[in-house]
A = this chain, B = another copy of it.
Amino acid sequence: MRKNDRSEKALRTVSIEPGFSLHAEGSCLITVGNTKVICTASVDEKVPPFLRNTGKGWVTAEYGMLPRSTGSRMDREAARGGQSGRTHEIQRLIGRSLRAVIDLTALGERQIKVDCDVIQADGGTRTAAITGGFVALYFACKHLVDQKLIKTLPIKDHVAAISAGVVKGQSVLDLDYDEDSTAETDANFVMTGKGGIVEIQSTAEGEPFQLEQFQSMFDLAKSGINDLIKLQMKVMYPELS
**A198 to B194 CA separation, bound complex (whole angstroms):** 29
From 83 to 127 in chain A, residues with beta carbon under 8 angstroms from any chain B beta carbon are 83-89, 91-92, 96, 100, 113, 115, 117, 119-120, 122
CB nearest neighbor in B for A193: B208
The size of the chain A interface, using a CB distance under 8 A, is 66
Partner-contacting stretch, out of A1-9, A16-24, A47-55, A227-235:
A16-24
| Chain B positions within 8 Å of A77 at CB level | 78
Is the pair B117, A66 in contact by a Cβ cutoff of 8 Å? yes
| Chain B positions within 8 Å of A117 at CB level | 66-67, 119
Partner-contacting stretch, out of A36-44, A144-152, A167-175:
A36-44
**A202 to B71 CA separation, bound complex (whole angstroms):** 31
Distance of A88 from chain B, by nearest CB (Å): 3
The oligomer's copy count stands at: 6
Distance of A13 from chain B, by nearest CB (Å): 14
| Chain B positions within 8 Å of A201 at CB level | 199-202
Is the pair B204, A197 in contact by a Cβ cutoff of 8 Å? yes
Task: Kindly state whether residue A81 has any CB partner on chain B within 8 Å.
Answer: yes
The binding surface of chain A is classed by DSSP as mixed
Task: Kindly state whether residue A15 has any CB partner on chain B within 8 Å.
Answer: no
Is the pair A198, B192 in contact by a Cβ cutoff of 8 Å? no
Task: Kindly state whether residue A239 has any CB partner on chain B within 8 Å.
Answer: no
Q: Which one, B34, B66, B87, B204, contacts A40 given CB within 8 A?
A: B66
Q: Which one, B23, B34, B209, contacts A196 given CB within 8 A?
A: B209
Task: Kindly state whether residue A181 has any CB partner on chain B within 8 Å.
Answer: no
Is the pair B191, A198 in contact by a Cβ cutoff of 8 Å? no
Is the pair B78, A82 in contact by a Cβ cutoff of 8 Å? yes
Q: With A40-B68, A82-B82, A196-B208 given, can you name 6 additional A-B contacts, CB distance below 8 Å?
A: A44-B73, A77-B78, A85-B85, A88-B88, A198-B208, A211-B218
12 contacts between A and B (CB under 8 A): A23-B71, A23-B120, A68-B115, A73-B115, A78-B80, A86-B88, A157-B208, A191-B208, A192-B208, A196-B208, A197-B214, A198-B208
